[in-house]
C-alpha cells in the first residue's frame, strides 16, 4: 500500500447515491423547480433500475425483518466500487475504516503479512519480519485458497483481511498453494499483536548489509541512524535488501533515495492518465552514500515503495538488481472520508519509474535472476544474498 497527495474522484457519485436513498420517499422534486436533494444527478445518469429493484425487494422479499437500510446502502456502494475491477479501490464501512487506519499505523492484532489480489487470486505479498506469519513459514507468492472454511475466490482484499485478523492468541487456518508444491497445504497461524520493525543492518567484512523491512513512519529516522553508523564504520560497499518489503509511505522511499542519489534526481513519476499533468518526485537529501558501490535485492514480496526505490537507484545510477521479479504494485491510493465515518480508498494514479516504465502489474525484472528453491528454505540457505555478496565484491 502507498499513500500520496489528494486527488478527488468518484466521491460525487457516492454522495449522490446516499442522497438519493435519503430522499427516496419524499421524492426528488417539489413542484417543477425546487430541488430537494443536496447533490443532484447529471441528466445522463439513470438510477431508475436501481430504484425499481429497491421497490421490488421491499414489496416481495420473504423476510422483511432482514431489511437493514444502512447495510443495503453500504452494499450498493461496495458493488459499484467492485465493478471497476480494481482490487485497490475499496469502500470501507466506519468499522472497516477504523481497521484500515490501525493497519497504517503499524500496530495491530493479526498474523503480520501483506496480501493482495494478482490475476484474480488472493496471495501473500510478503510476510512481515518477526511476525506469526513469518514464523509459520508463509512466503511471498503463496496463493491463499481458503481462510478457515471460506473460499477466497470472490473475496475482496479487505474481506480477506477481516477474516485473517483477530484477537491475539486465537488461531486462523490458511490453505495455501505454492508453485513448488504438488498439492495445497494447510498452515495454522496464531494471531498476536503486530509491531512492524523498519530495518536492521550489519557489517559483512567491508560490506554494509541493510535489510529494510517496511517503509513505515519510523523508517526515516531509523535509516538516518543506520547511515551515520555506516559512514563511521569500515564499510566500503552496500547491499540493500528489499525482499519481502511490501512498501509503505512514498515520502519515506523518497527520503531514503536521497542518501544514494544526487539532489534533484527523479525518484518516481505520478501519472494520472491525461486527467492532469504528471507529478515528478525528486530527491532532496544529502547524497552521503552516493559514492558507495551498491546492489539491491528484490523478490515477489518487494512491492510499492520497494519497487520505487529499487527502480530509482537502477535508472539513475545503473545499480544492479538481484533476485526475483517484484510484485508489481505501482498504483496510488487516496483515502476519502465520507459523512458517516465510512470512506473510499481510491486508485487515482500509477507510478512510473524515472525512465517512464510502468510498475503496475509489470513489476521489476532483476538484472541477475536468482530463485529460491524449497530446499534452500528448508536448509536456510540464501543463494540470492550469496550472489549479491559475490557481485558487490567485483565492483571497484
Write out the catalytic residue numbers.
304, 315, 329
Give the integer Cα–Cα distance in Å for 10 and 77. Answer: 11
Give the integer Cα–Cα distance in Å for 257 and 280. Answer: 14
Place of cell 513459514: 137
The CB-based long-range contact list for 97-104 (8 Å cut-off, 24+ gap) reads 97/337, 97/341, 97/342, 97/343, 99/161, 99/162, 99/165, 100/158, 100/335, 100/343, 100/345, 103/161, 104/1, 104/3
Instruction: Tell me how far CA of residue 325 lies from CA of 170, 287, 315, in angstroms.
Output: 34, 28, 16
Residue pair 294/320 in contact (Cβ under 8 Å)? The answer is no
Cell numbers given for 68: 437493514
Amino acid at each position: 500500500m502507498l499513500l500520496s497527495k489528494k486527488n478527488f474522484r468518484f466521491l460525487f457519485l457516492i454522495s449522490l447515491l446516499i442522497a438519493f436513498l435519503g430522499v427516496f420517499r419524499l421524492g426528488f422534486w417539489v413542484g417543477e423547480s425546487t430541488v430537494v436533494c443536496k447533490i443532484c444527478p447529471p441528466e445522463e445518469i439513470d438510477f431508475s433500475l436501481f430504484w425499481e429493484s429497491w421497490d421490488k425487494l421491499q414489496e416481495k422479499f420473504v423476510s422483511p425483518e432482514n431489511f437493514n437500510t444502512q447495510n443495503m446502502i453500504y452494499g450498493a456502494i461496495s458493488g459499484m466500487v467492485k465493478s471497476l475491477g480494481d482490487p485497490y479501490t475499496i469502500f470501507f464501512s466506519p468499522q472497516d475504516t477504523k481497521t484500515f487506519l490501525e493497519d497504517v499505523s503499524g500496530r495491530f492484532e493479526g498474523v503480520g503479512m501483506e496480501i493482495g489480489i494478482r490475476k484474480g487470486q488472493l496471495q501473500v505479498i510478503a510476510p512481515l519480519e518477526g511476525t506469526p506469519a513469518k514464523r509459520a513459514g508463509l512466503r511471498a507468492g503463496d496463493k491463499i485458497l481458503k481462510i478457515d472454511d471460506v473460499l477466497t475466490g470472490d473475496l475482496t482484499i479487505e474481506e480477506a483481511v477481516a477474516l485473517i485478523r483477530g484477537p491475539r492468541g486465537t488461531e486462523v487456518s490458511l490453505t495455501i498453494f505454492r508453485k513448488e508444491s504438488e498439492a495445497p497445504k494447510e498452515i495454522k497461524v496464531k494471531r498476536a499483536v503486530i509491531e512492524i520493525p523498519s530495518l536492521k543492518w550489519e557489517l559483512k567484512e567491508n560490506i554494509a548489509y541493510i535489510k529494510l523491512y517496511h517503509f513505515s513512519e519510523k523508517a526515516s529516522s531509523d535509516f538516518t541512524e543506520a547511515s551515520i553508523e555506516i559512514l563511521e564504520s569500515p564499510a566500503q560497499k552496500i547491499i540493500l535488501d528489499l525482499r519481502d518489503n511490501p512498501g509503505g509511505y512514498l515520502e519515506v522511499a523518497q527520503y531514503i533515495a536521497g542518501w544514494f542519489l544526487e539532489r534533484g534526481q527523479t525518484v518516481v513519476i505520478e501519472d494520472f492518465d491525461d486527467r492532469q499533468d504528471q507529478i515528478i518526485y525528486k530527491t532532496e537529501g544529502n547524497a552521503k552514500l552516493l559514492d558507495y558501490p551498491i546492489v539491491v535485492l528484490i523478490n515477489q514480496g518487494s512491492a510499492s515503495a520497494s519497487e520505487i526505490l529499487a527502480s530509482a537507484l537502477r535508472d539513475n545510477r545503473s545499480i544492479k538488481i538481484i533476485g526475483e521479479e517484484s510484485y508489481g504494485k505501482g498504483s496510488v491510493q487516496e483515502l476519502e472520508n465520507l459523512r458517516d465515518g465510512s470512506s473510499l480508498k481510491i486508485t487515482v494514479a500509477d507510478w512510473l519509474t524515472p525512465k517512464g516504465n510502468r510498475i503496475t502489474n509489470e513489476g521489476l525484472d532483476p538484472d541477475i535472476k536468482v530463485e529460491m528453491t524449497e530446499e534452500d528454505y528448508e536448509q536456510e540457505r540464501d543463494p540470492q544474498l550469496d550472489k549479491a555478496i559475490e557481485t558487490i565484491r567485483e565492483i571497484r
